[in-house]
Structure 1
Amino acid sequence: MKVVERYIMRRALAVFLAALIWTLAIVWTTQVLARIDLVTDSGQSVLTFFEVAALIIPSIVPIVVPFALVVAVAQTLSAMNSDSELAVLNAAGASRWTIVRPIMFLALAASIFSFAVDNGVDPYARQKNRELVASSRADLLSLIIQEGTFRKIDDGLFLQIGERLPDNRLGGIFVADSREEGANLIYYAKTGAIIENGDEKVLMMNDGVIHRETLAGDLSVIRFTSYAFDLSAFMSASSDVLLLPKDRTTQYLLNPSPNDKVFQKKPNKYLAELNQRFSEWSYSLVFALIALAVAGDARSHREARIHPLITSIAIALFVRWLGFFAAGKADNVPQYAYMVYGVPIVASAVATWFIVSNRTMELPVAWADWMTNFAGRFSDGWSALKLRFARRGASGQGAG
């Protein structure tokens, strides 16, 4: 690799790593916040929460890497063009492949990394994640035996324990059950205990009342000396780990078990997931070609056009949307599998044609003019707004 090629690759790699870290952090944060209920609802420790959060990272890497790469390539080449480095390379007689080779080498490395994560690390991380979530939800004993906390056991079922008494007894038991259609049940017992018999777990409540209220407003009160509330159903339902096609290894997708309940109901989902894994890695190469087609040539600063970074991201988003659309449709319509592979192939072919023919891939002129005018109006409006506030502040100080 020539000195110039190493220089280009080093600059692109630095921007790529920075963009990857920031993009991963943003996407990871949004995913983590969606799972904050693991701590708030099930009473799990912060350590378990962060373990689940860490297992999310492999699932977002294959999606984020191509976008980090298109940002890195477009930004690097745009900066080199602004510094007249691309013009110097052209004047020195360097071919366009001097720029293409290091970028494609970086894209190939990113594609291999994405493929390894998508087919090797991510399935095991997803399985471990589901096991942790299932075990946390199945641990009803630790969930229930927390004094003064109002906990959700199931949809429409809430429970609170007032205090823990000696001999593993519980005091001040309150249960709100709205699962029965047309009626709300409220249980209150002075004391109680959790009785375990093998896999069966029963909340035995003593000396309490049951309030039953219908939608019509009818209220009935039943007093009881002892009442058994079965928790086994929630334990078994919570502890079962249901693995979806996304959670399966690639080897399993190639030869799924005939006894797999999900496979029996929706066999197309397994084939669709397999096709997506075998095509998703290629988007790093596709996006690198798009960025090269957009920003890989020397352009005069006097030419009015949208910033190459914006153009590259816009085209990349459209291509990736087509890929997601095809993958989603392939779950039910197997024929869309051709589109899953066709989107990156066609996009690569179009971008390669622009590169080979020394053309620049750009958004339509009408779009460019509209975006330029919009940016100008926004900038003028923002400047006028700041000036207005500045004058208002100055007049206020003068009056004071």
Structure 2
Amino acid sequence: MARIDRYMLSQLLVMFGFFSLVLVALFWINRAVVLFDRLIGDGQSAMVFLEFTALGLPKLIVTVLPIATFSASVYVTNRMTGESELTVLQAAGAGPWRLARPVFVFGLCVAAMMTVLSHFLVPMAEGQLKQREAEVSRNLTARLLTAGVFLHPTDDVTFYTREIDSDGVLRDVFLSDRRNREEGVIYTAAEAYLTRNGDATTLIMVNGMAQRHNTVSKRLATAKFRDFSFDISPLVGEDGAANQTPRSMITPELLWNWPAIAARSGSSEGDVAEELHGRFAQPLFCLVAAMIGFATLMQGSFSRFGVWREAVIAFALLIAIDGMRGTLVTQVREAAALWPLLYLPALIGALLSLAMLWQAAHPGWTRRVARKESRA
């Protein structure tokens, strides 16, 4: 590799690392706030929060890689244009095709990273995350045994206990069950105990009262009890392991027998096809993002203010191609046989990049054609 290629490639990789770090940090903070509120609010420890955050990072990195690739390509090309570096190189005989070589190598490097992430690291992290979510949902201590806090195991259930003794007795219990829209029930008890009965989990309340409010007849009925058992198994989740979905399976497991995978995971063959071929299309999209950023900016002439107009055009092109990809995903999920459509955005982006590079290498062809037509 020539020295100029190494120079451009190093600049691209440095800016790619910078943009990736910034974007991952921004997306991570946004996700961490929601995750922190959900986990810590349910009584989980900080270690569980950190574990869930780490397992979500591979998917987050996959999301920002195309954006960081495009941003690095546009930034480096714009800076080298503004500092006349590309002008000097072109004056020395380096054409757009020659200058695009390090950008293409840069795109291949990012595509290789995306390949490892999308085919192996993200599915493995997704599978582990689903397993941990199933374990957390079954954790009674975190879901119910938190004194002095109103907890919401589900949207329509509220639980509160004033104190928890060292022997596990719950003091001054409040339980509101609003799952039945026609009748809400509020249970209050002086004491309560959690017991296991096979796969079921039961809350036994002692010396309490049940208040039933019928929303249809607008009547309130109360009943005192000495002991009352309440099955809370639906609130804390099932003990079975979470079903393995196509997203949590590495690529070699998705290559064959789509009907069996769909039946086992409860999804459709289209979901399996979209997941598999989407993993192959994502690295290609990273390569296209780098080339579109470079090729579009090569259309601009030298300016002290840079080529920001071309940068806006490049951004619009990338958004259009990505929007097309989102539309095609829906079609593939409905019909698995349409999986080749997932590669169409990358193909269109590649053709656009080649056309713009050809235009940059032959800037006067439109004038020559117009001159020939005027003579004719």
Normalising by the residue count of structure 1, what TM-score does the alignment of the two structures yield? Answer: 0.83
**Which residue of the partner structure matches residue 170 of structure 2?**
170
Q: Residue 269 of structure 1: which of 271, 290, 296 is its match?
A: 271
Tell me whether 1:109 sits opposite 2:143 in the alignment: no
Tell me which moved more, 22-31 or 117-126.
22-31
Indicate the SS of the match to 2:179. Answer: coil
State the Cα deviation string for residues 30-59 of structure 1 (Å, max 9, x = none): 233333343244211122112111211111
Identity in percent: 22
What is the distance in 2 between the residues matched to 1:360 and 1:317? 27
Query: In the TM superposition, what are the counterparts of 1:286-305 in structure 2 within 5 Å?
Result: 286-296=288-298, 299-301=301-303
**Which residue of the partner structure matches residue 309 of structure 1?**
311
What is the distance in 2 between the residues matched to 1:234 and 1:2? 64
Indicate the SS of the match to 1:94. Answer: coil
User: Could you tell me whether the CA contact under 8 Å between 1:71 and 1:313 is conserved in 2?
Assistant: no
**Which residue of the partner structure matches residue 210 of structure 2?**
210
Query: In the TM superposition, what are the counterparts of 1:24-35 in structure 2 within 5 Å?
Result: 24-35=24-35
What is the distance in 2 between the residues matched to 1:66 and 1:259? 29
What is the distance in 2 between the residues matched to 1:33 and 1:257? 39
What is the distance in 2 between the residues matched to 1:348 and 1:131? 39
What is the distance in 2 between the residues matched to 1:312 and 1:238? 51
**Can you give the 5+ residue segments of structure 2 that lack an aligned partner in the other structure?**
364-376
**Which residue of the partner structure matches residue 369 of structure 2?**
none
- Aligned-partner residue type, residue 113 of structure 2: F
User: Could you tell me whether the CA contact under 8 Å between 2:259 and 2:269 is conserved in 1?
Assistant: no
**Which residue of the partner structure matches residue 227 of structure 1?**
228
Change (3 A) 1:242 1:356: same
**Which residue of the partner structure matches residue 69 of structure 2?**
69
Indicate the SS of the match to 1:282. Answer: helix
- Aligned-partner residue type, residue 114 of structure 2: S
User: Could you tell me whether the CA contact under 8 Å between 2:79 and 2:306 is conserved in 1?
Assistant: no
Change (3 A) 1:3 1:152: same
State the Cα deviation string for residues 217-265 of structure 1 (Å, max 9, x = none): 2000011110011123334437641333222221222235737646555
Coordinate RMSD, CA, aligned: 2.4
State the Cα deviation string for residues 266-297 of structure 1 (Å, max 9, x = none): 22211111111111110111112211211236
What is the distance in 2 between the residues matched to 1:238 and 1:360? 67
Indicate the SS of the match to 1:179. Answer: coil
What is the distance in 2 between the residues matched to 1:70 and 1:360? 24
Aligned length: 361
What is the distance in 2 between the residues matched to 1:165 and 1:89? 77
Change (3 A) 1:304 1:174: closer
What is the distance in 1 between the residues matched to 2:73 and 2:306? 21
What is the distance in 1 between the residues matched to 2:306 and 2:88? 21
- Aligned-partner residue type, residue 178 of structure 2: S
Change (3 A) 1:160 1:99: same
- Aligned-partner residue type, residue 139 of structure 2: D
Q: Residue 327 of structure 1: which of 299, 317, 329 is its match?
A: 329
Change (3 A) 1:322 1:306: same
**Which residue of the partner structure matches residue 284 of structure 1?**
286
**Which residue of the partner structure matches residue 398 of structure 1?**
none
Tell me which moved more, 328-337 or 72-81.
328-337
**Which residue of the partner structure matches residue 254 of structure 1?**
255
Query: In the TM superposition, what are the counterparts of 1:152-163 in structure 2 within 5 Å?
Result: 152-163=152-163
Tell me whether 1:2 sits opposite 2:10 in the alignment: no
Normalising by the residue count of structure 2, what TM-score does the alignment of the two structures yield? Answer: 0.88
Change (3 A) 1:328 1:41: farther
- Aligned-partner residue type, residue 102 of structure 1: P
Indicate the SS of the match to 1:291. Answer: helix
Tell me which moved more, 130-139 or 298-307.
298-307
User: Could you tell me whether the CA contact under 8 Å between 1:174 and 1:188 is conserved in 2?
Assistant: yes
User: Could you tell me whether the CA contact under 8 Å between 1:137 and 1:239 is conserved in 2?
Assistant: no
Indicate the SS of the match to 1:325. Answer: helix
**Which residue of the partner structure matches residue 242 of structure 2?**
241
Tell me whether 1:181 sits opposite 2:186 in the alignment: no
**Which residue of the partner structure matches residue 140 of structure 1?**
140
Change (3 A) 1:360 1:170: farther
What is the distance in 1 between the residues matched to 2:233 and 2:290? 54
The alpha carbon displacement at 1:180 in A equals 1.3
Indicate the SS of the match to 2:360. Answer: coil
The alpha carbon displacement at 1:304 in A equals 9.7
The alpha carbon displacement at 1:321 in A equals 1.5
